[in-house]
Chain A
């Protein structure tokens, strides 16, 4: 299953809600303002690192580049482009957007 989060953890609790429902083998994709959570030194980085123990975490690089944080991706988080986003949707049998 693919979980998509699009809001900064500083604005909404959607990342936390998402991570509370991630099961082993699931994938989490951070897009739009949620990409900040995938950067080193962010207050939410710890929760993302913890999620990496059981799930895969991806970050949409075009969104991170736009926000000047492309150089700060947490180790273990996989950068993807829109093509990678498409592949994640096709590889996972179901998708939940945590809006």
Chain B
């Protein structure tokens, strides 16, 4: 669960590096759920400077290569102007039930945020 936006604080970076390490260790990351300002990780309008990491593209790549389900909370997204039109590739918008469902079905849930 990622509860904070990209760049402003480190939470999204920490979550990404954790997911990457877990996958490398042979674990499965079933889903990353973006909530609160975390929904801002899913905008395709982001354009970081060339010499900086691209947080959004990095998540999308992880989803593509390892089948990680990147879910953006619809209610939190609507509040913050994240809609289908500006949703980055690899992400999908869905309800909070997806978070609860993941918590029930996965072995662990780790919360990253502010």
Collect the chain B residues with CB atoms within 8 Å of residue A82's CB: 17-18, 20-21
Q: Does chain B have a CB within 8 A of A95? A: yes
Q: Does chain B have a CB within 8 A of A83? A: yes
Collect the chain A residues with CB atoms within 8 Å of residue B20's CB: 82
Within 8 A of B (CB), among A48-66: 62-63
Q: Does chain A have a CB within 8 A of B100? A: no
Flag if A95 contacts B14 (CB, 8 Å). no
Collect the chain B residues with CB atoms within 8 Å of residue A89's CB: 18, 22, 108, 110
User: Known contacts being A83-B25, A86-B18, is A99 close to B108, with CB within 8 Å?
Assistant: no
Q: Does chain B have a CB within 8 A of A90? A: yes
Q: Does chain A have a CB within 8 A of B24? A: yes
CB distance from B19 to the nearest CB of A (A): 9
| Most chain A CB neighbours (cut-off 10 Å) among B9, B11, B17, B27 | B17
Flag if B14 contacts A31 (CB, 8 Å). yes
Interface of A is mostly: helix
Flag if A62 contacts B17 (CB, 8 Å). yes
A89, B24: Cα distance in complex, Å:
15
Flag if B18 contacts A85 (CB, 8 Å). yes
User: Known contacts being A6-B11, A85-B18, A97-B112, is A90 close to B24, with CB within 8 Å?
Assistant: no
What 1/0 flags go to B1-32 for Cβ under 8 Å of A? 00100000111001001101110110100000
Q: Does chain A have a CB within 8 A of B90? A: no
| Given A81-B21, A89-B22, 6 further pairs, Cβ under 8 A | A6-B14, A6-B112, A33-B10, A62-B17, A82-B17, A86-B21
Residues of B that sit less than 8 Å from A by CB: 3, 9-11, 14, 17-18, 20-22, 24-25, 27, 107-114
Q: Top 5 closest A-B pairs, CB basis?
A: A82-B21, A97-B111, A86-B22, A99-B113, A32-B10
